[in-house]
């Protein structure tokens, strides 16, 4: 048994002779393959592009949201006030017995 930095490692398997196993050799051969290298590079570039896209989408959402709050919300509030005022005028006119505004009285 050998130890590294105070830890204990398992003994080597009998018959392995200290050499790498078949899975280890195949894995290292595949990792050094140009196809795997290109795949890793493409994945890395895709991650960078995705991060930039997410960041720019967030900025666009922030701009759209603040623009909506500054321009559209006050318009909606004012339209609601106008509708309430018109409804109040209609109620007052019906209570007083006068025809609602916009309808001509018969002569």
Is 13 within a domain? Answer: no
Is 30 within a domain? Answer: yes
Is 93 buried (19+), middle (13-18) or exposed (0-12) by CB count in 10 A? middle
End-to-end, the C-alpha distance of the chain in Å comes to 116
Show the domain range for 54: 23-96
Tally of domains within the chain: 1
Q: Per-residue confidence of the chain (107 residues) as pLDDT tens digits? A: 454 555 555 555 555 544 568 888 777 777 788 888 888 899 999 999 999 999 999 999 999 999 999 999 999 999 999 999 999 999 998 888 876 556 655 55
What is the per-residue pLDDT for 31? Answer: 75
């Amino acid at each position: 048994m050998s130890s590294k930095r105070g830890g204990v490692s398992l003994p080597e398997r009998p018959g392995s002779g200290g050499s790498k196993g078949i899975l280890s050799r195949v894995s290292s051969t595949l990792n050094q393959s140009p196809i795997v290298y290109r795949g890793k590079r493409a994945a890395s570039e895709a991650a960078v592009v995705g991060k930039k896209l997410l960041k720019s989408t967030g900025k666009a959402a922030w701009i759209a949201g603040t623009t909506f709050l500054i321009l559209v919300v006050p318009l909606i509030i004012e339209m609601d006030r106008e509708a309430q005022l018109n409804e109040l005028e209609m109620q007052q006119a019906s209570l007083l017995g006068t025809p609602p505004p916009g309808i001509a009285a018969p002569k």
